[in-house]
Structure 1
Amino acid sequence: MRRRIPRTRRGFSLVSMMVAMILLTVGLLSLAGANAQTVTLQTVAQNRTNAIAIARSYAEQLRTRDPWRVQSEPVTRLSADGVPQVNGPYRRSVVVRDVRRNLLQLDIVVDYPRSAQPVRLTTALFRGNGLSGAL
């Protein structure tokens, strides 16, 4: 003889199991999408950090040069370390403007992979009294 199980103790139905599986699937897909987005944003942030380091390093190199001989430079392709490379992913250019007779404005622009906008570093370079360039 079969015992009758009360309705409150029968367990899960097939429909409730299907709904649970669908909710679990949606949740796991959302986590996977968030993880992929995190990796992408982390890569962009690393590229931007490298571009900033390239710009700052080159600004320091420009400051060590004779200020009377500093001039604008065309686009140079670079590796992530700032070393010139034919097919490098980073592109650096320098625009030099005379603000006054003894003051230059240096604009260093570094474009990096997957960038919405390039990194722009602007600095000033003082030329001193002008005697160093009078040869």
Structure 2
Amino acid sequence: MKTSDSTTPTVGLFGCFSAASNTGSLTAMACLQVTKRLGSDVVGICSLPALLNHVPRQSSLVKRLPHVLVVDGCNRSCARELLAGVHVTADAYLNLEADLGIHKLGPFTSHEFDDEQLEAVTRAIAAAVEALAAVG
């Protein structure tokens, strides 16, 4: 198990990760699956709260990333909007509602999705990561 940040991945992932809804839960779980499948040299999950709180280590890491992928669960686009507030722009963007047709069910629906939806989101994120990584 890797315990240091000695290498910077090619792609940094920012997800909405709001487990209050089905789509937020899907962003978190799928991003974790993608990092496991593709490896930490290719993709890593960045901490949106740490970046927004101006934690120096996270800010420095994000500046070193060759590419940034933002994944939002719904059309509110919270992750993308919050990142814009700290001048971080995505090289690629995926929205579960707009791009994959997965509808947000609302508050307290954290577990209301199925394995097929999780796999579809995981595949979409992995494809976006692989496309960015191919650019270099």
Q: Identify, as 1 or 2, the structure richer in helix.
A: 2
Q: Identify, as 1 or 2, the structure richer in strand.
A: 1
Give me the TM-score of the superposition, normalised by structure 1.
0.24
Of structures 1 and 2, the one scoring higher in RCO (CA 8 A, sep 6+) is: 2
Give me the TM-score of the superposition, normalised by structure 2.
0.24
Of structures 1 and 2, the larger Rg is shown by: 1
